[in-house]
Amino acid sequence: MYRNDKENAPMTFQFRTQTLAMAYDELASGKEGFRVAVGNFMNAFFLYDVESRQRLLDDPIQMPENPTEEQRGWAAFCAGAAEYLASRYDLQCPAWANDAAYRMPEPWYIVPNANQATHEAFQETAPEPFRRRNVFCSDRVFTNPHPSSKEPGNLADLERRRTEILAALPQAEREAYLAAHNAKMSGKPRIHIVS
């Protein structure tokens, strides 16, 4: 147990599961950047709260009365995320996500000051729920290795791609790669290709 020396009382730590509304609040207020705010939400959605994912989407976001363009952009991103994840994981899209206020009048990119090549890549790959809101991000925006994930880059996808790449290598190169990899990973699980 941890004690607070100033008051000699037990310190308590409260764990809060990151909802999409909480992620929006952190993004819109500048408390956290994308990686932390959305990363914490993704951990809740794909790892900690898999059985109750719907509740992570349900709370409406609270956009300020006179939002900046960035705050409106993050609101549109979160609405797109709610619709995208609801569709992908057989959940119900929350009503708040369909509000017309969560659409950008001009294209908005989640990477500020992105170059033209990034803009073009995002325009080509952004999932439809984001495009409809004029928000552009990669189709891999929720990529993660968690086993409950259906996203590109999940553990099964990574293992499948690694197996395909290794199978395409000439045998000598494959064996050299695996030997080097296994030596580097000594004490960790090893990769074995069964032919």
Each residue of 122-136: pLDDT tens digit? 999 999 999 999 999
Cβ count near 18 (within 10 Å): 22
Structure confidence by residue, pLDDT tens digits, 12-29: 545 568 999 999 999 999
| Beta bridge partner(s), residue 4 | 9
> How do 3-4 and 135-136 pair as beta strands?
unpaired
Per-residue pLDDT of the chain (195 residues; tens, 9 = 90+): 444 455 555 555 455 689 999 999 999 999 999 999 999 999 999 988 788 899 999 999 999 999 999 999 999 999 999 999 999 999 999 999 999 999 999 999 999 888 999 999 999 999 999 999 999 999 999 988 777 878 766 566 667 767 777 788 788 887 887 777 777 766 655 455 554
Alpha helices in the chain (DSSP H): 20-29, 34-43, 53-58, 69-88, 116-125, 128-131, 155-168, 171-184
What is the amino acid identity at position 175? E
Which token pair is 172? 């000598």
* AA identity, residue 46: F
pTM: 0.74
